[in-house]
């Protein structure tokens, strides 16, 4: 059965974006530091060898994307094709999409709640996982009980400011550790949300 999995690189002090995060500076100042673990030596995203390659393969094997509106709009919906292989993208939002989304047939805005958005994403993913993006979306999914797992790439750096992943949670959330892969660039921890 498909699982919904939040994939996020995070500083040791809990930041997923640096200061000055916004449409003109997606991820904020210093954002690339959180993703160096998955870059090629020439700075291209996600090398295909070693540990980073295994995580990239896992990430790209997901069957659907569920991402927050702020996340998708900052990157113009990844050009309508996050994986480059026709994976549908679902965006939970209280407002209808802007006009640019009409250019992206794989992008669906879901206005009747996070539960409906996740159900649609899981149906589209089939037996593959749903990749979840966005801090606010993760909070909502946790609160609604529809986020199954978290894959956190813990980076050995202290940001000190920016956007935290779990700044405000509705209540305590218990997690079980499923896997830990430690490398010099990052500690990759996969958690399952305890029900």
Start-end of H helices in the chain: 50-60, 69-74, 114-125, 135-144
Task: In whole angstroms, give the CA distance from residue 29 to residue 1.
Answer: 38
Read off the pLDDT band of 45 (50, 70, 90).
Answer: low
Each domain of the chain, given as residue ranges in start order, spans: 4-21+28-193
Structure tokens at 26: 């997606």
What is 4-21+28-193's CATH number, 3.40.430.10, 3.40.50.300, 2.40.30.130, 1.10.150.110? 3.40.430.10
pLDDT tens, residue by residue, 62-112:
999 999 998 898 888 888 888 787 899 999 999 988 888 889 999 999 999
Structure tokens at 70: 């702020």
**Overall size of the chain counted in residues:** 195
pLDDT tens, residue by residue, 125-169:
999 999 999 999 999 999 999 999 999 999 999 999 999 999 878
Read off the pLDDT band of 1 (50, 70, 90).
Answer: low
């Amino acid at each position: 059965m498909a699982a919904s999995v939040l994939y996020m690189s995070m500083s040791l002090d809990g930041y997923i974006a640096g200061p000055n995060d916004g449409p003109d500076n997606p991820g904020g100042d210093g954002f690339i530091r959180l993703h160096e673990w998955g870059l090629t030596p020439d700075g291209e995203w996600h090398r295909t060898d070693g540990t980073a390659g295994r995580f990239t393969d896992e990430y790209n094997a997901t069957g659907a994307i569920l991402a927050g509106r702020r996340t998708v709009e900052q990157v113009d919906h990844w050009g309508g094709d996050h994986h480059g292989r026709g994976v549908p993208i679902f965006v939970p939002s209280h407002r209808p999409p802007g006009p640019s989304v009409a250019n992206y047939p794989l992008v669906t805005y879901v206005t009747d709640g996070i539960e409906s958005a996740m159900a649609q994403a899981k149906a589209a993913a089939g037996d593959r996982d749903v990749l979840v993006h966005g801090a606010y979306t993760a909070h909502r999914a946790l609160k609604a009980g529809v986020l199954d797992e978290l894959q956190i790439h813990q980076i050995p750096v202290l940001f000190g400011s920016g956007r935290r992943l779990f700044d405000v949670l509705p209540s305590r959330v218990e997690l079980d550790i499923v896997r830990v892969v430690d490398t010099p660039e990052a500690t990759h921890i996969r958690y399952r949300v305890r029900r």
